Chains A and B, each alone.
Chain A
């Protein structure tokens, strides 16, 4: 993945990257005497293919969608690697749900390409190992919870025994409601059922669109645990959520959308890596101010000075700065290190219209 705050116009990984990998492996093998003797036997080729890294769970490039005059999605590209949990963030109307629907073939993009688990998304079988919880979740009210799961297992073409389906319902807290009609379920219970539906056919990629919108705090904690267990099992997750705390806790990477474009993307460390140093100072002279500015971008509010440090500052940076300030005659009242929260970062990115664009 590219660095933080960069537009994701051309993902570093993806089908192109995969081909490069394959070529480099071939060159390496062809250079060895054994490879030459085998004369490129089928077995060697099969091994080579088997050794290839699996295609990303999601790869999309240049997605565009217009609804009449409104552009909902405008050149969105990003990747979700296998076993990675990626958060999709952005204000209302940023195009998050449209992007998700394009990925799953529910909306036809005007332009752009999508690969799901290595297969073009226009082929239905690309979704064989994909689980999805829609934002607008609703399941057949005349079926029981167990019947809804059985239906989705059949549609997915999977072979999931009754016991495993029951476990799936238990995982979302609906073990004792398996035989009840969905029509009698509360909104929160239907969302839990939706989670079970997304997870039941042994997915390798799970797409969750606002999975906790109807859940109480306990339910949200359950979803967080569920996401962490998916992560532990190596299932890739694309999570669209307004709950930034939720995203911050479980996601490896974040893609921030604004007005249909990728405003920023990167790992949490990349996005939040910048540290702050808040200093309460008296008697700041011009040379002292220069010294502060030399440490990083400086903001001042009364006698409170905030210096933004690089993501991984040297261990000596802060003590040296304080020593220099004292040496310049500054009176130091307080020095507080701080870290930018994802929420602050998101707001900053959205207010500035996306840095690095």
Chain B
């Protein structure tokens, strides 16, 4: 009964994502980004023909990470504004009344929505990310060392943001929850950059800003792991200290402990959302 509810609601959420304008807007934005990046990468190749192979790899890795950041921002915007309306919007409009008056557990409905959203968000990131990697390969001949890990971490970052979006949408209005989720995503990224500068300058208290923010909201930590997987490992060895603290290069891969924390974070936030949603009067 509960499994059927979860699957039914997950399918409904996927259907919602594909039939609403979100998908079309996402697709349009992604195509624009891919086209622009294809043009940009081909210019790099044409304009900087005199670069050494190491410099070319560094530029390609940096620009790839920059474009991937754009992609993850699109995913963040798209999914946060999808997660908001799906719960808060349903409660506000009354669509949740008819659904929740059925013989369903509220938590099953929530998990169904979450599954549908992550299937959509993670699917989008994986597909668009793969297309981007192919664009880079065709234009400048660069292929990242760990494409699957990188794409998986990008997808995990989307899952974290979606889970946060769901929690926010269980306590606030649809638009507010989307705005706050994207705002927190941006703030954590900036805190991550600040922390990286702190590390580069050997300033512990500044470095701690990044560490704390990465613990509170694991989007930036996962993003840095993804960047690390996309860049050529020889690049940092070659250019080492000069590139420390660069916002679009990452000098360390993720630890298993951090990945486990990110997983636990998702479970905890989803559980908290479930508790809030269960007690909510409609």
Contact = CB atoms under 8 A, between A and B. Distances in A.
B46 interface: no
Contact of A140 (B4, B16, B100): B16
B98 A197 contact: yes
A155 B19 contact: no
B98 A127 contact: no
Given A106-B281, A108-B279, A142-B19, A155 B97 contact: no
Contacts of B256: none
B103 interface: yes
Interface string B98-111: 11111111000000
B103 A132 contact: no
Contacts of B8: 151, 154-155
B281 A134 contact: no
A107 interface: yes
B103 A156 contact: yes
A124 B104 contact: yes
Interface in A40-55: none
B1 interface: yes
B15 interface: yes
Interface residues of B, number: 24
Contacts of B5: 155
B94 to A, nearest CB: 3
From DSSP, what is the main secondary structure of chain B's interface residues?
helix
A192 to B, nearest CB: 14
Contact of B16 (A139, A142, A155, A157): A142
B282 interface: yes
Contacts of A114: none
B95 A140 contact: yes
Interface string B237-255: 0000000000000000000
Contacts of B95: 138-140
Interface residues of A, number: 30
A155 B15 contact: no
A130 B101 contact: yes
A108 B277 CA distance: 12
A126 interface: yes
A132 B19 CA distance: 26
B103 A140 contact: no
B101 A127 contact: yes
A178 interface: no
Given A107-B282, A142-B15, A155 B94 contact: no
A101 interface: yes
A107 B282 CA distance: 6
A125 B1 contact: yes
A140 B5 CA distance: 17
A152 interface: yes
B102 A156 contact: yes
A142 B95 CA distance: 12
A130 B95 CA distance: 17
A108 B278 CA distance: 9
A194 B99 CA distance: 11
A188 interface: no
B31 interface: no
A118 to B, nearest CB: 14
Chain A CB within 10 A, most for which of B20, B93, B98: B98
In order of increasing CB-CB distance, the 4 nearest A-B pairs are A136-B94, A142-B19, A134-B97, A155-B102
Interface of B: 1, 4-5, 8, 12, 15-16, 19-20, 93-95, 97-105, 279, 281-282
6 contacts: A101-B97, A126-B103, A133-B98, A138-B93, A140-B95, A155-B5
Interface of A: 101, 104-108, 124-128, 130, 132-134, 136-140, 142-143, 151-152, 154-157, 194, 197
Given A134-B101, A137-B97, A140-B95, 19 more contacts: A107-B281, A107-B282, A108-B281, A124-B104, A124-B105, A127-B103, A134-B97, A134-B98, A136-B97, A137-B94, A139-B98, A142-B19, A151-B8, A152-B98, A152-B102, A154-B4, A155-B5, A156-B103, A194-B98
